[in-house]
């Protein structure tokens, strides 16, 4: 009866290559995280790459609130101040949009006199600008003349 030689199938050169591969895998698995921690944990790298982005994402110490309102009246005052700032920004944005629409209307009025665009297309493009002329923010009717 012949002997079972399947046990020695991975002997010789294949066993040595498998051991080399296992040693390589272990060194990569061990030293890759250590090298990353060494590189990115370096203080020079932190000051060069992290601190500039921190200044962009987080407000400076001067712009942060140091004393939060504790009682109802100071909380109400702070809320009113924030609402007033938001309203002022919104009014400024609307005012700029109105002026941009006026500029667009002027451009369309000059262009329609020269081009052969249909009056219906001109009216469709100029309609938001005409509505903006009646906007209550300021007397914009005089801006066209």
* Residue 86 pLDDT greater than 90, yes or no: yes
pLDDT digits (tens, 9 = 90+) for 50-84: 888 888 888 777 877 777 888 999 999 989 999 99
Q: What is the mean pLDDT of residues 130-143?
A: 50
Domain definitions of the chain by residue range: 11-61, 82-145
Per-residue burial over 76-97, b = 16 or more CB atoms within 10 Å of its CB, e = otherwise: eeeeeeeeeeeeeeeeeeeeee
pTM for this prediction: 0.38
- Distance between CA atoms of 130 and 123, rounded to whole angstroms? 9
pLDDT digits (tens, 9 = 90+) for 2-48: 555 555 555 556 666 677 888 888 888 999 999 999 999 999 999 99
Give 145's pLDDT tier (boundaries 50, 70, 90): very low
How far is the CA of 103 from the CAs of 47, 98, 138, in angstroms?
Answer: 47, 9, 15
Asked whether 130 and 105 are in contact (CB, 8 A), the reply is: yes
Give yes or no for residue 116 having a pLDDT over 50. Answer: yes
Given a contact cutoff of 8 angstroms between Cβ atoms, the answer to whether 98 and 137 are in contact is yes
């Amino acid at each position: 009866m012949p002997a079972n030689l399947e046990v020695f199938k991975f002997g010789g050169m294949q066993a040595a290559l498998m051991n080399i591969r296992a040693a390589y895998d272990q060194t990569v698995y061990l030293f890759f995280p250590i090298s990353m921690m060494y590189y990115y944990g370096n203080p020079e790298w932190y000051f060069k790459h992290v601190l500039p982005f921190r200044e962009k994402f987080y407000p400076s110490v001067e712009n942060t609130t140091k004393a939060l309102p504790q009682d109802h009246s100071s909380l109400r005052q702070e809320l009113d101040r924030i609402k007033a700032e938001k309203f002022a920004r919104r009014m400024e944005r609307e005012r700029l949009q109105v002026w941009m629409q006026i500029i667009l209307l002027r451009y369309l009025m000059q262009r329609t006199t020269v081009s052969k665009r249909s009056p219906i297309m001109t009216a469709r493009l100029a309609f938001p600008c005409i509505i903006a002329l009646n906007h209550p923010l300021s007397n914009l009717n005089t801006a066209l003349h």
